[in-house]
Amino acid sequence: MSSVTATPAAPASGALTQGHKKVIFASSLGTVFEWYDFYLYGSLAAIIAKQFFSGLNDTSAFIFALLAFAAGFAVRPFGAIVFGRLGDMVGRKYTFLVTIVIMGLSTFLVGILPNYASIGFAAPAILIALRLLQGLALGGEYGGAATYVAEHAPHGKRGLYTSFIQTTATIGLFLSLLVILGVRTYLGTEEFEAWGWRIPFLLSIVLLGVSVWIRMQLHESPLFQQMKSEGKQSKAPITESFFSKNGRIVVLALFGATAGQAVVWYAGQFYAMYFLTQSLKVDATTTWLLIAAALLLGTPFFIVFGWLSDKIGRKKIIMVGCLIAALTYFPLFKALTHYANPAIDEARARAPAVVVADPGTCSFQFDPVGKKVFSNSCDIATAALAKAGIPYTIQSAPAGSLAQVKIGETAVDAYEGAGLSKDDGKAKGDAFTGALKGALTAAGYPEKADPARINKPMVLLILTVLVIYVTMVYGPIAAWLVELFPTRIRYTSMSLPYHIGNGWFGGFLPTISFALVAGSGNMYQGLWYPIVIASMTFVVGSLFLRETKDVDITQ
């Protein structure tokens, strides 16, 4: 690749020059590879749960795997602080060159990490450590790429230019799904789940080499070069960003922009994928194909909404996206159930599942360290239904009574697990599971979604609508954040609210939502989390954040 020169900002009427195209391509392609690395884990969460958390029951293992996924998001704000400071003091180019090396090596090491059966507790511990390194790297990546592209963009076209960076997260997810599907199809499901899942992680070393080579061709941002030559760069970007009047803008950007954008992003792409596979029991290959198709159809809208934000403003589009998502998530996800696995709704209408139990014995079964034993009869009953993906309600019974599961008119007694020997516990568990399975089968509850009854065009339409919501809130967000902050502290200031919003509010969405579902028995209960956060962002952003499309960032 030819050297990418530092293209100075052009006037609003300037065309998209060859230099601009190279800047966008080089920044975007490297970022695609980073997102590919990061989302491999999320796409393979169910398999990773079996490989690294096999010491737990299935439900706890999956929740714990999601928590390990979220651990990478938890540290992203710290990466934003560390690398943001470097980016504002040393430069944009060198900082996000370092981040991609850390990301690529961490992902490769996941591919060679022994599983729980081989090295025991050390396996999940090392896995989480690698996820933390990935999160730190990604915390420094996005702000650098977005700032770098925006500082090359002509005035009046920053929304369009930075929208290409916004496509990278979705393209990275799309690429990870394609690689997973290709390897799984070639090896077969059994071999893929046994060892083939490692191949997509190992391939990251090739992507790392390509990404480093591309980024070595880049030159520094012209605005940063000018600021440095004039001796105006910040000597204390963290203090200036967060402990001055600028700190108020950082807080407003978090609650009024990035928090809502994040939950819409993760609800529309990751939570929809988990909902199909875990709640609706659609097979993984069908789910990945449908998600990949929706991403392919929806991705161009990142560019559309980025371009539109240059015309009508960033704020309007993002606020409308948050509002529409909050208002329509319940009907859209209920429609997913109807079109992906209608047998669930039919069985629930004929024979609703009810757990009759003493409410005082029903726990919220979320144990992030896997040490608690949920042995009450209510916990045993609800865990069995949650594992089977069966929606249920809880009906109060007298204190001290044994829990009972009613499937229509059929009643199945649960059992108390405390004090039982291993053999007795297994015998009672097998008897309860067998009786419950028989009652569910007789009532028409499906073990898996029937492929012949999946209305794929309608499921694809719903998934595409969810992706378009993502493009509305995510397409213009980079330009909005860049324009909210001055050049001398831009990298640091925009990175922190972005990564707290996406790392904490967004990254913990699958874990929180599935814990809410498991605790309530309502398969739609988890939607309240993104709805509440998106609604909060709509209110805060509408009232307290300004429109920035006409801001001159060179001043």
Residue 35 in any domain: the answer is yes
Q: Encode pLDDT of 174-221 as tens digits.
A: 888 889 889 988 998 889 988 999 999 898 888 788 878 877 776 655
Residue 496 lies in a domain: yes
Mean pLDDT across 67-86:
76
What are the φ and ψ backbone dihedral angles of 428, each rounded to 5 degrees?
-65, -40
Alpha-carbon distance 326 to 114, whole Å? 42
Burial 385-422 (b: 16+ CB within 10 A, else e): bbebbbbbebeebeeeebbbbbbbeeebebbbbeeeee
**Does residue 299 fall inside a structural domain?**
yes
Compute the chain's Rg from CA coordinates: 25
**Do residues 393 and 477 share a domain?**
no
For residue 148, give its domain range.
18-340+451-544
Q: Distance (Å, rounded) from C-alpha 420 to C-alpha 418?
A: 6
Q: How far apart are CA 317 and CA 520, in angstroms?
A: 34
Cβ contact 152:7 at 8 Å: yes
Q: How far apart are CA 103 and CA 130, in angstroms?
A: 9
Render pLDDT for 440-467 as a digit per residue (tens, 0 to 9): 999 999 989 999 999 999 999 999 999 9
The pLDDT score that the predictor gives to residue 149 is 79
Name the pLDDT band for 91 (thresholds 50, 70, 90).
low
- Domain boundary among the residues 415, 443, 471 is at 443
pLDDT surpasses 80 at 226: no
Non-local CB neighbours of 118 within 8 Å, separated by 6+ positions: none
Distance CA 136, CA 448 (A): 38
Q: Does a structural domain hold residue 137? A: yes
Q: CA–CA separation, 81 vs 496, rounded Å?
A: 6
Residue 157 sits in the same domain as residue 206: yes
Last residue of a domain, one of 391, 419, 443: 443
- pTM given for the model: 0.80
Q: State the average pLDDT over residues 329-355.
A: 93
Instruction: State yes or no: pLDDT of 239 exceeds 60.
Output: yes
Asked whether residue 506 falls in the same domain as residue 364, the answer is no
Contact 475, 305 (CB under 8 A): yes
CB neighbour class for 43 (10 Å; exposed up to 12, middle 13-18, buried from 19): buried
> In whole angstroms, what is the distance from residue 332 CA to residue 334 CA?
5
Is residue 114 located within the same domain as residue 255? yes
CATH number for position 68: 1.20.1250.20
521 inside domain: yes
Cα separation, 385 vs 520, in Å, equals: 11
Average pLDDT of every residue of the chain: 82
pLDDT for 230:
52
Q: Could you give the percent of the chain with pLDDT greater than 90?
A: 33
Cα–Cα distance between 343 and 77 in angstroms, integer? 43
Q: State whether 461 and 313 are in the same domain.
A: yes
Residue 264 is assigned to a structural domain of this protein: yes
Q: Note whether 495 and 143 are within 8 A (CB).
A: yes
Domain end residue (candidates: 417, 443, 469) = 443
What whole-number distance in Å separates Cα of residue 480 and Cα of residue 442? 55
Torsion angle of alpha carbons 104, 110, 169, 177, nearest 10°? 120
Establish if 554 belongs to a structural domain: no
Q: Which of 63-77, 108-122, 314-328, 510-524 has the lowest mean pLDDT?
A: 63-77
Regarding whether 351 and 323 lie in a shared domain, the answer is no
Q: Specify the pLDDT at position 391.
A: 87
Cα–Cα distance for residue pair 27/1, rounded to 1 Å:
13
* Domain match, 476 and 402 both: no
Positive or negative, the CA dihedral 123, 125, 126, 127 is positive
Lowest mean pLDDT among 28-37, 155-164, 426-435: 28-37
Nearest of 151, 132, 131 to residue 143 by alpha carbon:
151
Q: Is the same domain home to 430 and 495? A: no
Question: Which of 231-245, 344-358, 411-425 has the weakest average pLDDT?
Answer: 231-245
475 and 351 in a single domain? The answer is no
CATH number at residue 394: 3.40.30
Contact 127, 68 (CB under 8 A): yes
- Please check whether residue 11 lies inside any domain of the structure: no
| SS3 at position 282 | coil
Q: Quick one: how many helices (H) and strands (E) in the chain? A: 27, 4
Same domain, yes or no: 297 and 180: yes
- Angle at 464 (CA atoms; ends 459, 467), nearest 5 degrees: 130
Looking at the structure, do residues 257 and 398 belong to the same domain, yes or no?
no
Residue 2 has a pLDDT of: 35
Dist CA 212 CA 214 (whole Å)? 5
Identify whether residues 86 and 158 lie together within a single domain. yes
Higher pLDDT among residues 93 and 308, named by residue? 308
- Count of domains for the chain: 2
